[in-house]
Structure 1
Amino acid sequence: MPNVTRITVSIDEPLLEQFEKFLADNGYPTRSEGVKSIMRKALIENEWLTENTDVAATISMVYDHHKAGVMQKLTDIQHDFGELVVCTQHVHLDHHNCMEVLILKGLASRIQAFHNALKSVKGLKHCTLSAATTGEDIH
């Protein structure tokens, strides 16, 4: 186990009660685990604001593959941003609807531009970016 430092934090009672409820609702076993999770989330959000830092992400899309041109346009955009795409997963949800999940690694600004290009495709039912980290600078 790495070195652990104990800290003391002063918190108003109403905020602590809200935090305790948050911990219970989200299954955190201890306050420490909840605080560490929130700290990591803030650090990851900060990574996305830093220039020239590689980040990771997923983009999830749902579309009707029968809509004219949707699949071709999505494929063209993916090729335009090919350096970001680590892998893709395509599944058939039903006779009409498909879901694609793209796993990405690259500069946050480039990933956001990719997401913006994809979500502008007419006929797309859903397109969500989930920001993540490569983990290199998060402990």
Structure 2
Amino acid sequence: MQDKVKNNKDSIIRFSVSLPATLLEELDYKITQNGYTSRSELVRDMIREKIVDEKWEKGEGEGTEEYLGVLVIIYDHHQNGLNQKMNKIQHESESVEVLCTTHIHIDHHNCLETLILCGNQPGIEKISIEIAGLLGVKFAKLTRTASFKESI
């Protein structure tokens, strides 16, 4: 079966899964709540998420393109020197490239910023932790993903 999958990467293979009735009910509830059109779509997303999580935990990857992350931060823009410190962390990284940033003024004191990061896993984690630890950063969350060069 492995050879068939390798030769037909885009082909769809059907298989059956046995679940207790209560777990199937929860699965169907998630489908409805999250706008999926089928069980298969939800299961594919859950499998992809698990694969990405395991890649990050094991530190697998061949190059800087293997890892992508989106860092969301909320911070007090009146905090003295915070913007300069965040910029310094981003510019001094040798193993991570900041592909894009988005800056939103939430209110008089708070800004929300997203950073799309590309690089190696330890580098992305390091930038995220360094920025999250700065005085004036109120919230920071890293969403981790992979480049999906080979469809998973």
TM-score (norm 2): 0.82
2:55 to 37, 47, 63: 47
Aligned-pair CA distance for 1:52: 5.0
SS of the equivalent of 1:48 reads helix
SS of the equivalent of 1:35 reads helix
Q: How far apart in 2 are the matches of 1:84 and 1:49?
A: 21
Deviations 1:36-77 (A, max 9, x none): 111111111122124351211111111121111211211111
2:73 to 57, 61, 66: 61
Question: Residue 100 in 1 paired to residue 113 in 2?
Answer: yes
2:15 to 7, 26, 37: 7
SS of the equivalent of 2:80 reads coil
Q: How far apart in 1 are the matches of 2:60 and 2:28?
A: 37
Q: How far apart in 1 are the matches of 2:74 and 2:16?
A: 46
The answer to which of 82-91 and 120-129 deviates more is 82-91
Question: Residue 72 in 1 paired to residue 80 in 2?
Answer: no
Q: How far apart in 2 are the matches of 1:116 and 1:14?
A: 39
TM-score (norm 1): 0.89
- Paired residues in the alignment total 139
Aligned-pair CA distance for 1:122: 0.8
- Segments of 4+ moved more than 3 angstroms: none
Q: How far apart in 2 are the matches of 1:126 and 1:68?
A: 17
Question: Residue 23 in 1 paired to residue 31 in 2?
Answer: yes
Deviations 1:65-124 (A, max 9, x none): 111121121111112226331122222223322222110111112111111111110111
Q: How far apart in 2 are the matches of 1:94 and 1:12?
A: 48
Query: Could you say which residue in structure 2 is the equivalent of 1:138?
Result: 151
Question: How many percent of aligned residue pairs carry the same amino acid?
Answer: 32
Structure 1: tracts of 5 or more residues without a match: none
RMSD: 1.8
